Structure 1
Amino acid sequence: MESALEVEHEALHRAAPGQAEHGAALFDAVGDATLALLGPGLLTINLWRPDTREVVRQWSSDPAAYPVGGSKRKGDTPWTRQLLERTEVFVGEGDAALAEVFDDIATIRALGLRAVVNVPIGERGRCIGTFNYLSPRSAWQADEVETLRRLADLAAPAVAQCHARQAGPAREAG
């Protein structure tokens, strides 16, 4: 799996964002790499807005079920504290684990998804986004979680670009 990831990294490096369309191309490349390396599933890439406590979808491998621009408010939960506040990876396996953290469990079940890895994307020590991969598998292997961490790192420049655009000039100074 390491050599495949290195090949994908080279392709992604060539698509590095410098403009908005390059950010979209980077999301597409990371999405393609994720599905190629880990098999069928659902990948979403979100911005985190702590001021409104919302995650806002920037990219989706299934835009019919999870459209770009969709958002979810996140209350104070163990998942929120782990992923969005402490910037720690969350691994959920099985229906009960997913039902505990996701309000949209009916949609997740309908898609046949049974396990998730949520990777925080950080900037300057704080979470600015999330990289979320749900799969029909029942459990994750350590190397799969590490692969998802690396893929999230590759998506980070495009997430940072989206974050900067949405923050605007007044926030960028702070």
Structure 2
Amino acid sequence: MLASLCGALARATRPASAFEAIGNATAALLGPGLLTINAYRRASSEVVRLWSSDKAAYPVGGSKRKADTPWTRWVLHQGEVFVGEGDAALEAVFDDIAVIRGLGLSAVVNVPVCEDGRCVGTFNFLAARGVWTEGEVATLRLLAQMVAPALIAASREAQPEA
């Protein structure tokens, strides 16, 4: 799987092609779930969805202004991975918990995507699990790093002055 992903990323001529390849690899490696790839606009404290595996529930272009919360400080400001397991953990950090519940999702891994030590986006995978294994979290961290060049390029295309 990783060899074919590397080939697909090398052939990708647009960020959307790279996102699709990463999305397919994520599903193949971790099973069904919801993957979103977001740009982070530090100046406006906003995340903007660049890609989604469920475009009906989480359409591309959707955005959220992120308030100053422990999650925001942990992921967007400090660049640390957030692992949430169980309904209470998700409810504590997501205002769209009703949609998440409706999709049958019960666990999340949010991986910050960084450039020059600063968070420029997030790689978010939600699934119907009780807990994440260390290997699953490591796999998601690796996939997030692989998506970084495309995320940075897409973010710059959408906001060239940044």
TM category (shorter chain) comes to over 0.9
CA RMSD in angstroms comes to 1.2
Between the aligned residues of both structures, percent identity stands at: 58
Shift of 1:13: 3.4
Alpha carbons 2:9, 2:21 under 8 Å: kept? no
Letter of the 1:37 counterpart: L
Which consecutive residues of structure 2, in runs of 5 or more, have no partner in the other structure? none
**Distance (whole Å) between structure 1 residues aligned to residue 120 and residue 6 of structure 2:** 25
Name 2:3's counterpart in structure 1: 7
Shift of 1:11: 2.6
- Which structure is larger by alpha-carbon Rg, 1 or 2? 1
SS in 2 for 1:121: strand
Alpha carbons 2:111, 2:140 under 8 Å: kept? yes
Of 79, 93, 96 in structure 1, the residue corresponding to residue 88 of structure 2 is 96
Name 2:111's counterpart in structure 1: 119
Shift of 1:156: 0.6
Letter of the 1:139 counterpart: V
Name 2:134's counterpart in structure 1: 142
Letter of the 1:72 counterpart: K
**Distance (whole Å) between structure 2 residues aligned to residue 94 and residue 114 of structure 1:** 5
**CA-to-aligned-CA distance 1:27-61 (integer Å, 9 cap, x gap):** 00000000111001000000001111111000000
Alpha carbons 1:12, 1:154 under 8 Å: kept? no
Which consecutive residues of structure 1, in runs of 5 or more, have no partner in the other structure? none
**Distance (whole Å) between structure 2 residues aligned to residue 29 and residue 153 of structure 1:** 14
SS in 2 for 1:160: helix
Alpha carbons 1:9, 1:154 under 8 Å: kept? no
Count how many residue pairs are aligned between Structure 1 and Structure 2.
162
2:60 is the alignment partner of 1:68: yes
Compute the TM-score of the two structures, normalised by the length of structure 2: 0.95
Letter of the 1:75 counterpart: A
Compute the TM-score of the two structures, normalised by the length of structure 1: 0.89
**Distance (whole Å) between structure 2 residues aligned to residue 156 and residue 83 of structure 1:** 15
**Distance (whole Å) between structure 2 residues aligned to residue 164 and residue 56 of structure 1:** 12
Name 1:163's counterpart in structure 2: 155
TM superposition outliers: structure 1 runs of 4+ over 3 Å? none
Alpha carbons 2:5, 2:21 under 8 Å: kept? no
Letter of the 1:10 counterpart: C
Shift of 1:154: 1.0
Alpha carbons 2:33, 2:125 under 8 Å: kept? yes
Of 36, 41, 47 in structure 1, the residue corresponding to residue 39 of structure 2 is 47
